[in-house]
């Protein structure tokens, strides 16, 4: 059993509604969030459990699969020296994807 389920409560329809404005956010804007932004803006969201590092990794993968653009390549370039090897690895992969799809 998932350890989080022992704290679970019965869901309501409101629980499945859009939260935090993520339905209209651009990936490039989300990718620019620092850890403090991530923690503050996703307070109360289950997404916060993955942590900022995996958040950036996931968005890097999405950006690598997006239609190539200089804006995406520039955003990815800002994270090439991220302290996390996980983030750096996925950013480098995404940049290669962007470059090969041009």
Domain boundaries, the chain: 26-101
**Single pTM value for the model:** 0.82
Q: Which residues contact 74 (CB under 8 A, 6 or more apart)?
A: none
Q: Is 102 helix (H, G, I), strand (E, B) or coil?
A: coil
Of 94 and 18, more confident: 94
Say whether pLDDT at 17 is over 70. no
CA pair distance 34, 92, nearest whole angstrom: 19
pLDDT classification of 44: cutoffs 50, 70, 90:
confident
pLDDT computed for residue 16 by the predictor: 64
Q: Would you give the end-to-end CA distance of the chain in angstroms?
A: 45
Which H/E stretch holds residue 37?
helix 35-41
User: Per-residue pLDDT tens for 52-102?
Assistant: 999 999 999 999 999 999 999 999 999 999 999 999 999 999 999 999 988
Say whether pLDDT at 13 is over 70. no
């Amino acid at each position: 059993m998932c350890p989080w389920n022992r704290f679970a409560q019965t869901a309501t329809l409101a629980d499945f509604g859009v939260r935090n404005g993520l339905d209209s956010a651009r990936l490039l804007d989300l990718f620019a969030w620092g850890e403090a932004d991530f923690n503050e803006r996703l307070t109360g969201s289950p997404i916060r459990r993955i942590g900022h590092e995996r958040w950036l990794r996931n968005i890097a993968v999405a950006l690598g699969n997006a239609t190539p653009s200089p804006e995406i390549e520039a955003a990815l370039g800002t994270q090439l020296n991220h302290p996390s090897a996980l983030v750096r690895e996925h950013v480098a992969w995404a940049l290669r994807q962007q470059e090969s799809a041009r």
